[in-house]
Amino acid sequence: MSDENHTLPYPSADSEHPTLVIPGGKDGGDAGATPPKRARKRWPWVLLIVVVVLAVLAVAAELIARAVLPGIVRGMVIEQLDLPADQKLAVEADGILIPQLIGGTLDTLHLSTDSVTLEGITGAVDVTATGVPLRGGDLASASGTIRIDESQFTSLLSNTELPIDTVTLESPNATVAGSVSVLGLAIPVSLTVTPGVAEGDLELTPVGLTVGGLEVDADQVGSSLGALGEQLTQTQRICIADQLPAGITLTGLQIDESEAVITVDVDGAIATDQTLLEKGTCP
């Protein structure tokens, strides 16, 4: 071979001629590629939606229960006590109702009315019962108040021997007025007493007395009217059990302006024992 056709050498690897890297090659890999995004977990959102739906349903059920329960309880009370069909009666239950309804017992139930007649006594009644079974049974406990006016309070005093024609209530006392016969003459008498309760009986404690329009003391009355005078100046105990349902016991009484407020305790068996709804008896 001649020098005119000599073989040229390969160019040296330098900065002017860099080696190209083929993408995806075995040695180069895919170092610059963005990794695929992971799918977001949706179950927390689904769980949240389920919880919200359940909460809404629970609230709706509670509202429905509170709307329906008063009518049911009112109907049961009216039937049990043989009250008029149009008797107004407010019913309110404490606490969350749904668990109580499932358990079959109401924790606390409030019943109130501005006017109701029980065994001939008419007044405003407010009663709170606890442990009220929805499927029948005795109440755990019950108590309340009965507010009566002067005419109804006069009826409660029918068993006393005091001369009573009228009764005036003015807190904290009651004034009973009537007349007594002395030597064939009718003498007007007015006795002011502080009402209370003793062992379930109505108690009247005298605090003032007028005879013939004149205020007198106890000694004068005792000497001039004899046994009647002593009766007028002594504390009177009056049984009124025969004017109330047998399941109701008096625990307190006070005069509030022109009304008598009677505090009562109710036998829990009154819900199942019909005899406790009938009038009681006095010894």
Domain range annotation of the chain? 43-132, 138-283
Higher-confidence residue of 216 and 19: namely 216
Q: Give the mean pLDDT of 201-218.
A: 82
Residue 240 to residues 96, 115, 262, Cα–Cα distance (Å): 39, 20, 12
Task: List b or e across 210-224, with b for residues whose CB sees 16 or more CB atoms inside 10 angstroms.
Answer: ebeeeebeeeebbee
Residue 279 to residues 54, 145, 168, 196, 216, Cα–Cα distance (Å): 50, 18, 26, 21, 39
pTM for this one? 0.74
pLDDT digits (tens, 9 = 90+) for 41-61: 666 767 777 777 777 777 777
**Tell me, what's the pLDDT at 128?**
95
